[in-house]
């Protein structure tokens, strides 16, 4: 598959994933589902950053990866 996540985008995703994951870990929520959602968002950000593929970018035809020709 074609890579759609560029290097700057990867760095932003990794930082956001760490911040969201830490926030979900350190904060006690009355609703457990909210903490679970934050963990899932954090995991998706990590996965898309390390694979370089973002399904939403593919659907919206967005590409932040610089292609060398």
Three-state SS sequence of the chain:
CCCCCCHHHHHHHHHHHHHHHHHHHHCCCCCHHHHHHHHHHHHHHHHHHHHCCCHHHHHHCCCCCCCCC
Q: What is the pLDDT along the chain (69 residues), one digit of tens a residue?
A: 788 889 899 999 999 999 999 999 998 888 889 999 999 999 999 999 999 888 888 888 888 888 765
* Nearest-angstrom CA–CA distance, 57 and 47: 14
Domain boundaries, the chain: 7-60
């Amino acid at each position: 598959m074609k890579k759609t996540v560029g290097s700057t985008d990867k760095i932003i995703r990794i930082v956001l994933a760490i911040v969201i994951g830490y926030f979900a870990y350190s904060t006690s929520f009355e609703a457990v589902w909210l903490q679970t959602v934050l963990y899932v968002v954090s995991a998706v950000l990590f996965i898309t950053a390390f694979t370089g593929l973002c399904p939403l970018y593919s659907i919206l035809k967005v590409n932040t990866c610089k292609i060398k020709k």
